[in-house]
Each structure stands twice: as C-alpha cells, then as structure tokens.
Amino acid sequence: MRHVHSLACESYPVTSRADDDPARTQGGPPSGSTGEQGRAEVGGAAPYSETERDSMHETSAGTWPAEPTLTPDPAGEAEPATPEAPATRSQRRDAERGGRRRRRSAGGSILRETAIILVSALVLSWLIKTLLVQAFFIPSSSMHDTLVEDDRIMVSKLTPGPFDLERGDIIVFKDPGGWLEGQKPVEATGWRGAMNDLFTFVGLYPQDAGEHLVKRVIGLPGDRVACAGPGEPVTVNGVELDEPYLAAGAIPSQMAFDVTVPPDSLWVMGDNRQRSSDSRLHQGDPGGGAIPMDNVVGKAFVLVWPIDRATVLHNPGDTFKDVPDPS
C-alpha cells in the first residue's frame, strides 16, 4: 500500500504540471513512462492511447489550456457614461427659456387678438349704427297693435336718404321739443335692462333712447291732412283713408283738424289714436304739429324681438294708393 501511494504521487505532475519535464515544455513526449505505469498500477487500466497522448502533447505546450475568448456584440456594447458637456446644458437652458418665451408670446397673442376683435366689433357697430341700421325698443302703447311695449325694432338709416319716405311708413324720430314732456319712458329691468345697457354701450341703442318717438307717416310735405271730427275718417288730399293698422276698437281721430304739411316736414300719427301724443296734439307748436325731416332717424323695417312676434314691417300701400300728389 505504501508503494502504491508513492506511484500515485509521482504520477500527479504528469496530469497537472508540464514545467517539471523539460521535454514537455518544448512540445515533445515525456522523458519517461512513469505516467503510463502509474495509470496502470493505480487503476489497472490500459496505457494511454495515441490520441490521448497527442491531446496531452497539445495541452502541454503552455502552462494551462487556453480559455475560449468571447467577442462582444457591437450592437449591445454599452457606451461608457460621460458627464454632460457644458454646451449641452446651455442649449437645454436656452430651450427652456425659449419655451417660456413662446408660452408668454402665445398668451400675449391671444390677448392681442381678443382686443383687436373687440375693438373691431365696436368700430363696426359704430359704423353700422351711424350709416346703416339702429335698434330701438318700444316704451309705450301708442302704436298698438302693430307694436307693443318692449318690442325691438330695427331702423334703416338709408330712409330718408338714398331712399324716400312714403305715406304709411313707420319712422323713429327725435323729439322736436315738448312731445315727451312729463312722460318718462318705461325702463326695462333685470336681464332686459342689462341687454339694453349692453346694446347702448356698443351702439345698437342710442344714448338718448328716451328722447325718440315712433309714429306712422300720414302726410308728406305739401299734403293736406284733415278729419271732420270724432268717428270721421282721416283724409289726405281729399281721399278718405281705410286704415286696417289701427288698434282694435280705435277710431281714426277723436278730434277735428285740417292742416297742410310744411316743406321738409311730416305729419305723423300713432296707430292707437286714443293713446297717442302725435301731430294732432301739437298743432300749436312751431311747425303746426309737423316734425322736421331732419329729426327723422330712419324707417322701421323689421320687428326682431320677441321671437314669436318677429316680422317684417310692411307699408300698407293699399291705404294710400289712391292719394294724389299735392296740388
């Protein structure tokens, strides 16, 4: 047993170290057959085969067999972390400042556009009010049943002007003086009052809306307008008028009159004759009750509010179709 152990110890360098045998370090065969004898004596196996010896010769050329080398995948190779360059940080700060400037610029742009829209709307409103149309509300019952309290009408400023007024037209005119004395127009309250204030602010209502009246044109300059008395028809240039627009139950006039309309003036009356302070009641005023043409704001052409009463205000042409021009 002691001899066997000695042989096993002597065979250990054969399989583990090659630098003890000068012949192995040069790639040659081992100098003795100790390894084969040790293998035979220890395990009783057959000597090494030629293939095994060749393999041992190849591995004994170096100290240890070379380990396989793995080539890293270029695509998956991680780049070493490098600190952010100062230029990159500066660019990021510039980008952040630029973003804030763009946001401020966008907010300022919205405010500018809103201001432009509001100013443009006010200017357009003023132009429309001055040159084309203007809105008015009806404060009294003098034009029943054609117009009632709180109706909203649109008035064309092109008549008179490019277009001539005709008998039967409904007009809005400024008080020639004393027609509204002692009368205070009904002021709308609540949301209607707010709407009135808004329309007045933007120019859709006149600043002095309480100083305007709405009546129907009965006589043009030079016309002779007359009524023989209560219950009698009104005549223009000798022709009796059939007036379907009068308020229900109203008579043509509760008083007699006979006037000739002065030049550049109009004779006007309300449709609700018993409730209208019109030309008949101001015959003692300058102009004999007729209103100056210059006081006319325009011709009412449409009733716009309330919606269920909205309608075009037509001229009752048939009423005056047989009236001749003044002689």
Kindly list the catalytic residues. Answer: 142, 215
Give the single-character DSSP code of 206.
-
CA–CA distance, 77 with 61 (Å, rounded to integer): 34
Q: Which long-range contacts (CB under 8 A, 24 or more apart) does 246-250 make?
A: 246/271, 246/272, 246/273, 247/144, 247/145, 247/271, 247/272, 247/273, 247/274, 247/275, 248/145, 250/274
According to DSSP, the residues that pair with 219 across neighbouring strands are 267
CA–CA distance, 324 with 327 (Å, rounded to integer): 8
Of residues 16, 61, 10, the one with CA closest to residue 35: 10
CA–CA distance, 30 with 62 (Å, rounded to integer): 15
Provide the token pair at 120: 């443009």
Task: Judge whether 302 and 153 are in contact, CB under 8 Å.
Answer: yes
CA–CA distance, 161 with 306 (Å, rounded to integer): 29
Of residues 139, 134, 276, 277, the one with CA closest to residue 206: 134
Residues 6+ apart with CB under 8 A from 210: 139, 180, 184, 185
Placement of tokens 């127009």 in the chain:
185
